[in-house]
Structures are given as C-alpha cells and as structure tokens.
C-alpha cells in the first residue's frame, strides 16, 4: 500500500468520509470510549504531567543521539548473533527482506501488525516472490488483508471503520459460519491463524522500542500474535523506523507505561515482550534474527523545526482526541498515518505534493498537543508546515492567497483598519437582510446568509455554512461607543 | 475595591468589526470594579488570521503594530474579551524572541495581558460580580483559552455565582467547535461537521443561553445555529457578568472561604 493510500483528491476524500455515517458514528464512539479509559488510566498513574515530561526527555535524548544509540543497538544485535540492515528507502528495506526470504527459501510468512511494514508496502513486495504466501496475524490487520487488503484507518485500531457485520461478511469468504458476535469471530480467527503460525518459516514483526544497550526488541500487544510470530518461525525479521530507539530497559519501562495508558487506556497490554534471537542455551526463538532499520524520509526531520515528530511513540492518542479525525476518519487523510501525527509526519516523509493539504485540515485546537504523552507540540508543527508552504515554497496562487496578503496589509496599518470600520456597514449592507433569526443577541443589524456566486471561495466557505452578523452602523461600533463613554466619564469627573 | 488600577482595553478585531455589545459589557464590568480603562486606537488585530494560515512573514508588522499600540499607554494590565486573541498576544514573546527591537516589548506585553474572566477572578479577585440572570445556560469552553492560555476554570467559577443562572454541563465540552480561524472558511466541509456536532450537544442540553469567552467561537456556533433555526440566545461571558448587577451582591474571594481554583483543573488530559 505504501504511505499514500488514495488517488482521490483531498476534497473528494472528505466528501466521501462525510457521507459515511457509519464510519463517523463508530469513530465518535471509539473516541468517547477511549477518552474515559485513557483519562482513568492516567489518573491512576498519578503525576501525569511529570511522567509526560520524563517521556519527552527520554525521547528527545534518544533522537538527539540517534546515530550513537543506533550504533550501540546494532553492535549488540550482532553480538547476540543477529544481523542489522540500515535501509535508506522503502525500496532498500523491501529488497533486503525479499533477499532474506529467498535465501531462506521461505514459503509461509506470518506477520504481526506493524505500521512501518505498511509504509514500505512490504506485503505487496513479498507476494511477488513465486510460491510465497503472507498472513497477517493481528486480528484487525487480518480482517483488512482478507478484505482485499483494505487500508488501515487508525494506527492502533486499523479497522475502526468496519462494523461487526462487515467483519462477518469478510470472514464468511474464508469459511466462517457463525453469527456477528465478536467473541466467536475472534475464536474463528484464532483457530484459522494457528495453523499458519505452526507452518510458518519466516516471521516479520514491527518494533515498539529497540533497546540500545542490550540489542533487544520490545513489543506491546494485546493478542499475543506478535509473540507467536517471534517464537515459532526459524527466521525472524524485525522492521523498525530508525527513531524507535531507547537507551536501555529502564527507559523502555517508562515509555511502555505512557504508551499503553495513552493508546488503549490500560496499565499495560496483555503482552509486553522483550526478545532477541535464540541464544545457544535457549529452547525456542528464531535461529536467524534480522533487524531492518528504516529511514525512508525520517532523517528529513532531523535538525529541523520538525525534529520533535521523531519523538512519536505511535500511541494514537492524538487521533483519538482530534475533532477533525472524528469527522473524516482515517481514510480522509490519504496516508497510512492519519490524524495530527500523520499531518505532521506524512509531508516530511513524502513531501507537500502528496500531503500539502493535510496541515490545513486542522483547526489548531491543540487537543493533540495536550494529550501527547511525549509532549510533541503537534499543532505547532502543523502550523510550521503551513509556514513552509506559504513563506518558503509559495504554494498557494489562488484568490485565497491574495485575500490573506490583503488582510496582512490591512491589519498592520491602523489607518486602513479605520477605513474598514468606516466602510464595513455600508459595504456589507447589500448582502444583509432582516429575515427572522432563531438565535438571539447576535444579529441586531440583520444577517448575511447568502453571497453572490462569484464571491471568493473563502467567503462562500463561511456563508454557505453559517450566518454572518451584519456589521454595526459606524456610530454604533465599539470604538465610537468608547469615545462617547470616555467623554461622559470625563464630564462626570469634572462635575465631581 | 482596587482603586486606580489602569487597564488597557484590547478590543480584538472581531469585537471592533462586529460585536460592540461585548466590548461595552467588558468595559462596564471592569470599571465597576474600580479599573480605569483606556483604549489605544492604534490597535487593529492580534494577527492570528494570517499567522495561523502560514503567512508568518507578512504578519510580523501586524504584531509590531499591536505591541506598539497596546504599550503606548502606561497601563498596569491589558485585558481582552477573547482567550484565543489573548493567547496570541502572549505568543509574541516566543515568535519575536530574537527580534532586537521587539523581544523585550513582547515579554512586557506577555506579562501584562489577561483574558477578561481570568482577570476578574484571578487578578481582581472577584468571586461574585453581582450579576443576575434567570435562565438555564451552557458554556462553550474554547480551545485556545483552555489549552494555549491554560485557563479552563475561571469562567465556570464566575458563572456559578451569577444569581438565578442554572449552568448545564455540555457533553464533550473539550471538542473544538470547528471555528479555527480561517480553517472555518478554508475547510467548510470539515468545519460544518464539527460545528454540527457542537450544536447537537448544545441543543441536547435544552439550555436557553449559550455562553462563551471567545466571541469568534460564538460567532461560528451561533451562525450555524441560526442557519439551522435553533432557538437559543448567545451571550459573551462579559454580557452575563454585566447583567442586572446589584452591587450589594458583589463578593471578593478574600472575603469568603472560597479556595482559588487552579487554572488548569486536575491537569490530566
């Protein structure tokens, strides 16, 4: 699939999302449920803001010393008998993984959910190898795979857009005969997948955190599928974004705590595993252990104002609080990384040409920044993208651009603003009407509820959706009132 | 009474252009509590519309103008009727931190500036403004006021003390109303869905009045409610605190056993 999930324009995606009432209802429900769970889990921990600060410091430190920690990690993986490959691009990463698969003559690959493997389009690349099959073992990703590789719409809950009846339909295609009860469908998936685990010769997982000082991989899951993926096949490949590194176990512990509470509102997920290749005196685990460390555009953020996005621990809390995500869901973004973190990350990984609209699809409400467990200033970074697009790249050549430049001139010169205050009532008068209002106290002069077709898009953007108050008559605006008020006050003082 | 405290009025362009009633109410409340107000006419706009749209270079002179204007009078405080615009003024110090001429001024501006309800409660120490309003109401807690300014409690405390006013909690009070400055006009499809959510939650309270501390959010929500034909009254908190005032009801925090509520509430989000 790759980073980009759609060929439709942003506006078309938003229109489609708006029509999808089921999706919007299910996103809203999930957001509300997560709000309760997340808040409770954080309150239980106590000192939440101090924990966040610690999380931020750990992540900032790791990103700042990224080359050193990656080197330390890589040495330790090799010391344990594993292999490390640094992939500059998605193509480099998939080429290496395919090469390992071929060398091992792998026939059956099991995977456990990993955003980075979706980002590098690994499934599609692997399937190009004749005779090789791939099975996603994370329940949600399994559903997507069986639904003709449907796209994930959330980084933690990939099937947020599907309901139980839709899942049942997908499962019926592979032999499920039961009802739409999630538990019996889960049981079906479990037995269906078990056989693949037993037969698999190559396991591929992602990585929540890579531990620099011992070369281990930390994974947190709720299904245990990642543990089977790591434990059963003879060969394991771990794919990780290059910034997933932490100095040691004690830092991983802090981050797991922040991650689980923020992602799913749990103290800890059902499985929290630290693993590496099989040691000589161990009974199980992969005999051949590879770690693929992926850059794929991440280094574009290094030493720039966008560097904090590399602190991200992929908890998805910012998606879960975002009022825009609530309305357009994951598919609205056209990137496998949706929501606030996706708005920041997608243009960094793949440029403004594909993702330049995302930073504008944001009301800058700051809910993401407020919830982020590692204190990434997400909404500030979204604004930074806008600055790059307007001030550095001058990407907007529309009427909107002209209007904004005009506003910037008008708001720096008191004399021009005075002119606007003098003329606004008369200028708007032709569009205003005295039709009845249901809302009291906003439209003493009348309202503007319609503008001519030729009016700029920006004006239509407001008036097509909501009424605008007719500006007050010159004598009645605030400044004139204040003048009169001041004179009366002075007169009163003189009389005293 | 805090006599002879001089307060510079930061009117905001929205109030200047469209809503004189809000500015008037704010001035009247401030003067009632002994503030001497002053209004520098050079002020225009905090610069948010263009700055937040990415036109950071073009907006610098707007910032300069606002700083020069608001600091042109020797006032103890600067007070405005909008958490968002006040939040923007307070951000100048970070944006202009390397500006040889304005860095220091931006810091002074930051330290002197307060949002209206925050100023009444935290600086003047007023608990009961003496207002009376016989109605049911709900409050829209605007995003920049709560998250950028970090003030999420002062308006609630003040409204609790308005005589005969019954406040009804708003479901999902933390969600943005879909205004977001120019976002509302640039992304009308998304903004419409957001404001409809907000309106639905407001309508569900059955409140007679929607109150807010940011007139721009109220302009958005109210504008949508009027388009939908929802019957409700919209009031800025300054108008509420200025309604049917009886001076004998006025209470200061220091004269009661009220414990000042921290601006950020519990701090778990």
Q: Does the beta carbon of A39 lie under 8 angstroms from any beta carbon of chain B?
A: yes
Best probe of the A interface among B203, B223, B235, by most A CBs < 10 A, is B223
Given a contact cutoff of 8 angstroms between Cβ atoms, the answer to whether A6 and A331 are in contact is yes
pLDDT digits (tens, 9 = 90+) for A365-423: 999 999 999 999 999 999 999 999 998 888 888 888 889 999 999 999 999 999 999 99
Q: Does the beta carbon of B61 lie under 8 angstroms from any beta carbon of chain A?
A: yes
Residue that is last in its domain, among A267, A300, A333: A300
pLDDT of B2 reads 47
CATH number at residue A70: 3.40.50.10420
C-alpha to C-alpha distance for A144 and B263, rounded to whole angstroms: 45
What DSSP designation does A4 have? B
Pick from A390, A412, A485: CB nearest B53? A390
The answer to the question of residue A145 being in a domain is yes
Residue that is last in its domain, among A241, A271, A300: A300
The alpha-carbon gap from B204 to the nearest alpha carbon of chain A, in Å, equals: 16
Q: What does the angle CA B151 – CA B152 – CA B158 come to, to the nearest 5 degrees?
A: 95
Asked if residue A73 and residue A208 are part of one domain, the reply reads yes
C-alpha to C-alpha distance for A452 and A445, rounded to whole angstroms: 20
Pick from A42, A408, A464: CB nearest B50? A408
What tokens appear for A171 in the block?
């499962």
The answer to whether the CB atoms of B189 and A471 lie below 8 A apart is no
The answer to the question of residue A253 being in a domain is yes
CB pairs under 8 A between A and B: 250
What DSSP designation does A359 have? G
| Neighbour tally for B248: CB within 10 Å | 6
Pick from A11, A383, A476: CB nearest B52? A383
The answer to the question of residue A58 being in a domain is yes
What DSSP designation does A127 have? T
What tokens appear for A359 in the block?
């930073």
- What are the E-state strand segments in chain B? 5-9, 35-38, 77-80, 113-115, 126-128, 132-140, 163-167, 209-212, 232-236, 251-252
pLDDT digits (tens, 9 = 90+) for B33-77: 999 999 999 999 999 999 999 999 999 999 999 999 999 999 999
Average pLDDT over residues B15-26: 97
- Residues of chain A with C-beta less than 8 angstroms from the C-beta of B55: 390-391, 404-405, 408
Predicted interface score ipTM higher than 0.85: yes
The answer to the question of residue A373 being in a domain is no
Q: Does the beta carbon of B226 lie under 8 angstroms from any beta carbon of chain A?
A: yes
Q: Does the beta carbon of B56 lie under 8 angstroms from any beta carbon of chain A?
A: yes
Identify the closest residue of chain B to A461 by CA–CA distance.
B185
C-alpha to C-alpha distance for B66 and B89, rounded to whole angstroms: 9
Domain limits, chain B: 5-121, 128-255
Classify B5-121 by CATH class.
alpha beta
Best probe of the B interface among A17, A35, A441, by most B CBs < 10 A, is A441
Confidence label for B78 from pLDDT (cuts 50, 70 and 90): very high
Report the number of distinct structural domains present in chain A. 2
Residue that is last in its domain, among A263, A283, A300: A300
Instruction: Show the domain range for A485.
Output: 416-495
- Residues of chain B with C-beta less than 8 angstroms from the C-beta of A435: none
The answer to whether the CB atoms of B54 and A391 lie below 8 A apart is yes
The answer to whether the CB atoms of A417 and B218 lie below 8 A apart is no
Q: Does the beta carbon of A254 lie under 8 angstroms from any beta carbon of chain B?
A: no
Long-range contacts of B31-34 (CB under 8 A, 24+ apart): B32/B129, B32/B130, B32/B242, B32/B245, B32/B247, B33/B1, B33/B2, B33/B120, B33/B124, B33/B126, B33/B250, B34/B1, B34/B2, B34/B3, B34/B4, B34/B5
The alpha-carbon gap from A481 to the nearest alpha carbon of chain B, in Å, equals: 8
CATH tag, B128-255: 3.40.50.11810
Q: Alpha carbon of A250 to those of A62, A67, A218, A267: distances in Å?
A: 13, 20, 12, 16
The residues with which A202 forms a beta bridge, in sequence order, are A109, A235
Pick from B189, B222, B227: CB nearest A14? B189
Q: Are strands A468-469 and A447-448 parallel, antiparallel or unpaired?
A: antiparallel
The residues with which B8 forms a beta bridge, in sequence order, are B38, B78
Residues lower than pLDDT 70 in chain A: none
Q: Does the beta carbon of A482 lie under 8 angstroms from any beta carbon of chain B?
A: yes
Q: Does the beta carbon of B196 lie under 8 angstroms from any beta carbon of chain A?
A: no
The answer to the question of residue A45 being in a domain is yes
Q: Token pair 């599609």 is at which residue?
A: A124
Q: Are strands A108-111 and A83-87 parallel, antiparallel or unpaired?
A: unpaired
pLDDT of B3 reads 57
The answer to the question of residue A195 being in a domain is yes
C-alpha to C-alpha distance for B183 and A107, rounded to whole angstroms: 51
The answer to whether the CB atoms of A411 and B147 lie below 8 A apart is no
Identify the closest residue of chain A to B18 by CA–CA distance.
A471
Q: Does the beta carbon of A469 lie under 8 angstroms from any beta carbon of chain B?
A: yes
Given a contact cutoff of 8 angstroms between Cβ atoms, the answer to whether A342 and A358 are in contact is yes
C-alpha to C-alpha distance for B153 and A100, rounded to whole angstroms: 59
- Residues of chain B with C-beta less than 8 angstroms from the C-beta of A471: 17-18
pTM value is 0.96
- Residues of chain A with C-beta less than 8 angstroms from the C-beta of B223: 442, 462, 465-469
The residues with which A133 forms a beta bridge, in sequence order, are A108
Average pLDDT over residues B204-222: 98
Instruction: Please identify among residues 269-328 of chain A the ones whose CB lies closer than 8 Å to any CB of chain B.
Output: 321, 323-324, 326-328
pLDDT digits (tens, 9 = 90+) for A177-212: 999 999 999 999 999 999 999 999 999 999 999 999
pLDDT digits (tens, 9 = 90+) for B83-141: 999 999 999 999 999 999 999 999 999 999 999 999 999 999 999 999 999 999 999 99
N-terminal to C-terminal alpha carbon distance within chain B:
37
Dihedral (Cα; B125, B128, B131, B133), 10-degree rounding: 130
């Amino acid at each position: 699939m790759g980073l980009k999930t759609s060929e439709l324009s942003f506006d078309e995606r938003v229109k489609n999302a708006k029509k999808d009432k089921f999706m919007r209802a299910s996103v809203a429900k999930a957001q509300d449920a997560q709000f309760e769970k997340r808040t409770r889990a954080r309150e239980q921990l106590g000192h939440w803001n101090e924990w966040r600060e610690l999380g931020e410091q750990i992540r900032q430190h790791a990103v700042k010393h990224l080359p050193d920690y990656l080197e330390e990690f890589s040495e330790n993986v090799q010391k344990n008998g594993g292999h490390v490959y640094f992939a500059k691009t998605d193509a480099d990463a998939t080429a290496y993984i395919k090469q390992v698969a071929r060398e091992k003559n792998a026939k059956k690959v099991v995977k456990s959910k990993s955003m980075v493997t979706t980002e590098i389009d690994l499934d599609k690349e692997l399937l190009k190898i004749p005779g090789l099959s791939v099975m996603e073992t994370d329940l949600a990703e399994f559903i997507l795979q069986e639904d003709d590789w449907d796209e994930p719409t959330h980084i933690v809950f990939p099937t947020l857009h599907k309901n139980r009846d839709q899942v049942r339909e997908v499962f019926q295609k592979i032999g499920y005969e039961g009802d739409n009860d999630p538990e019996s469908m889960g049981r079906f998936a479990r037995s269906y997948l078990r056989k693949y685990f037993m037969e698999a010769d190559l396991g591929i997982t992602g990585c929540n955190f890579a531990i620099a000082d011992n070369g281990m991989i930390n994974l947190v899951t709720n299904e245990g599928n990642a543990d089977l993926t790591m434990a059963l096949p003879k060969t394991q490949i771990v794919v990780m974004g290059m910034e997933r590194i932490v100095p040691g176990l004690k830092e991983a512990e802090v981050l797991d705590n922040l991650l689980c509470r923020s992602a799913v509102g749990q103290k800890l997920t059902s499985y929290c595993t630290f693993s590496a290749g099989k040691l000589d005196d161990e009974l199980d685990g992969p005999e051949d252990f590879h770690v693929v460390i992926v850059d794929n555009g991440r280094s574009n953020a290094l030493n720039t104002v966008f560097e904090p996005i590399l602190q991200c621990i992929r908890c998805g809390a910012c998606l879960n609080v975002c009022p825009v995500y609530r309305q357009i869901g994951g598919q609205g973004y056209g990137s496998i990384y949706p929501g606030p973190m996706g708005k920041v990350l997608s243009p960094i990984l793949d440029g403004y040409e594909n993702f330049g609209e995302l930073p504008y699809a944001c009301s800058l409400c700051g809910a993401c920044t407020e919830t982020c467990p590692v204190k990434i200033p997400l909404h500030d970074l979204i604004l930074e993208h806008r600055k790059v697009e307007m001030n550095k790249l001058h990407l907007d050549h529309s009427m909107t651009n002209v209007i904004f430049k005009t506003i910037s001139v008008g708001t720096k010169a008191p004399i021009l603003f005075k002119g606007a205050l003098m003329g606004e009532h008369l200028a708007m008068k032709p569009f205003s009407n005295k039709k009845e209002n249901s809302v009291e106290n906003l439209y003493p002069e009348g309202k503007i509820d319609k503008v001519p077709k030729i009016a700029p898009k920006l004006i239509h953007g407001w008036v097509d959706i909501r009424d605008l108050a007719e500006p007050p008559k010159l004598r009645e605006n605030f400044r004139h009132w204040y003048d009169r008020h001041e004179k009366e006050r002075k007169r009163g003082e003189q009389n005293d | 009474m805090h006599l002879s405290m001089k307060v510079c009025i930061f009117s905001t362009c929205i109030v200047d252009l469209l809503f004189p009633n809000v500015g008037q109410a704010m001035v009247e409340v401030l003067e009632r509590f002994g503030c001497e107000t002053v209004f520098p006419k050079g002020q225009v706009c905090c610069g948010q519309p263009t700055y937040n749209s990415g036109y950071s270079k073009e907006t610098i002179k707007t910032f300069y103008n606002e700083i020069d204007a608001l600091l042109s009078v020797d006032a103890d405080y600067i007070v405005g009727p909008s958490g968002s615009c006040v939040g923007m003024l307070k951000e100048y110090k970070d944006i202009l931190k390397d500006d040889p001429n304005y860095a220091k001024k931006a810091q002074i501006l930051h330290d002197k500036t307060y949002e209206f309800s925050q100023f009444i409660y935290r600086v003047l120490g007023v608990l009961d403004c003496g207002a009376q309003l016989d109605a049911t109401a709900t409050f829209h807690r605007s995003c920049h006021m709560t998250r950028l300014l970090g003030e999420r409690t002062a308006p609630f405390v003040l409204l609790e003390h308005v005589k005969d006013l019954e406040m009804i909690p708003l479901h999902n009070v933390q969600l943005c109303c879909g205004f977001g400055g120019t976002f509302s006009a640039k992304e009308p499809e998304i903004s419409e869905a957001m404001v409809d959510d907000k309106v639905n939650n407001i309508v569900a309270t059955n409140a007679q009045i929607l109150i807010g501390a940011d007139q721009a959010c109220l302009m958005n929500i109210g504008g949508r409610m009027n388009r939908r034909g929802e019957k409700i009254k919209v009031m800025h908190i300054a108008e509420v605190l200025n309604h049917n005032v009886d001076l004998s009801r006025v209470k200061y925090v220091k004269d009661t056993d009220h414990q000042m509520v921290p601006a950020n509430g519990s701090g778990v989000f």
